Amino acid sequence: MKNNKYGMPPPSSRAEFEHNISLSFEDALRKLSSKQLDPFFVQRTLPQLKSIEFFPNGRINFNSVDESLRLQANMQHWMELMPPPELIKKEDSEKE
Residues in CB range of 85: below 8 A, 6 or more apart: none
**Could you give phi then psi for residue 59, rounded to 5 degrees?**
-80, 155
Task: Tell whether 24 is covered by a domain.
Answer: yes
Taking CB atoms within 8 Å and a gap of at least 24, the contacts of 78-87 are: 78/8, 78/9, 80/23, 81/1
> CB-side exposure of 28: number of CA atoms within 13 Å?
20
What is this structure's pTM?
A: 0.71
Judge whether 9 and 3 are in contact, CB under 8 Å: yes
User: Which residues, in sequence order, are bridge partners of residue 60?
Assistant: 54
Task: Tell whether 93 is covered by a domain.
Answer: no
Task: Tell whether 87 is covered by a domain.
Answer: no
Task: Tell whether 31 is covered by a domain.
Answer: yes
pLDDT reported for residue 13: 92
Domain count, the chain: 1
Q: 66: domain range?
A: 14-81
Residues of the chain with pLDDT under 50: none
Task: Tell whether 94 is covered by a domain.
Answer: no
